[in-house]
Structure 1
Amino acid sequence: MTEDDQQSRYGSGPRLSPALIATLVAIPVMVIVGFITFAALRPDPTTPIESYVSGEAAPAECAELIDAVPQTFDGFGDKQVAGTTVTWPSESDGDPVTLRCGISRPDELSPTSNLQVIHPVQWFITDTVEGSGQAYVCVDHRPYVAMWIPENAGNGPITDVSAVIDETLPRGPLDFG
């Protein structure tokens, strides 16, 4: 092969070194792997109720409710309070029972909504996560209270909290927007 044939076949410009080529391939691969790792490991909200909109200011009644809710539930640790959110961590590898006081009225609440009556409080199921649990909002007392009940919690936590809500928070009319 003549020099003219080589130049027409491979070009006459400078050649890229193998190290530069390896770097140009490795950097995009590392960026993609980094994004995949971040997406897989990023912390998601533990429960749906953490994303619910809260009222502008924490109502004074929330402090009374938070003081009155049980210290613990069967299978869950002692209550932990952060502002108007209370969690009872699971003693196993499950979600905590979580309560938020002072959230806004659920937009989905309508005259045809199914309500669950639990020891005499009316709850609206807002979210169900298959294999994980359900989120409820108390709709007949004010301020609105949301509760996340993990699948392994049973009925005890929501029954006990319903009794406390009925004793500490004022009743309010059902507001369908």
Structure 2
Amino acid sequence: MRRLPAVAALGLLAVFVVGCGEPTVRVEQPHPTGAAASACRALTAALPTKVLGESARVVQPSSPNTAAWGDPPILLRCGVPRPAKLLASSECLVIDGVGWFSERATRGYIFTTVGRDAYVEMLVPSAYQPPSSALVDVAAAVRKAVPARTPCV
């Protein structure tokens, strides 16, 4: 499985739809199963209303596996596949007790949790600096809802 097409597709991941003056964000939906699906439902229920001071956005289609904040949108998707470039030797960034794998994307960074029941992905556009600051705002929800299986090393 190649990661390059997925990274390139992130430019298409969020499509803005404006209707009746209420902007929404269209997000590609992951489809987790089993323990990951349960963890994702718990995570979205525990997420903060603001990330980096940006308010939550309406996500379409509605899903228990996605969330968005701000404009340009900071996106969260829970239950995504393991990143193809994530190796045992990959650097792991620990922020407030949550391990993250980081990849540079065309328009920002993709951060994916490491060693948990579900892979949680956050796309943070380059407009937000430093991009890893967004992870601080969701760390408590991730720790609470998505059990850790292995430590980030």
- The bucket for the TM-score relative to the shorter chain is 0.5 to 0.7
CA shift in 2, pair 1:74/1:113, >3 Å: closer
CA contact (8 A) 2:51 2:138 kept: no
- What code does the residue aligned with 1:98 have? L
Match of 2:125 in 1: 150
Match of 1:133 in 2: 108
1:68 to 46, 60, 85: 46
1:159 pairs with 2:136 = yes
RMSD: 2.8
Greater share of residues in helix: 1
Match of 1:117 in 2: 94
**Unaligned segments of structure 2, at least 5 residues:** 1-10, 16-26
CA shift in 2, pair 1:77/1:128, >3 Å: same
CA shift in 2, pair 1:159/1:74, >3 Å: closer
CA shift in 2, pair 1:159/1:143, >3 Å: same
Identity %: 26
- What code does the residue aligned with 1:77 have? S
Match of 2:69 in 1: 88
Counterparts of 2:151 and 2:85, CA distance in 1: 13
Larger Rg: 1
1:44 pairs with 2:12 = yes
CA shift in 2, pair 1:56/1:168, >3 Å: closer
SS at match of 1:110: coil
Counterparts of 1:73 and 1:109, CA distance in 2: 25
1:104 pairs with 2:104 = no
Counterparts of 1:121 and 1:71, CA distance in 2: 19
CA shift in 2, pair 1:109/1:53, >3 Å: farther
SS at match of 1:86: strand
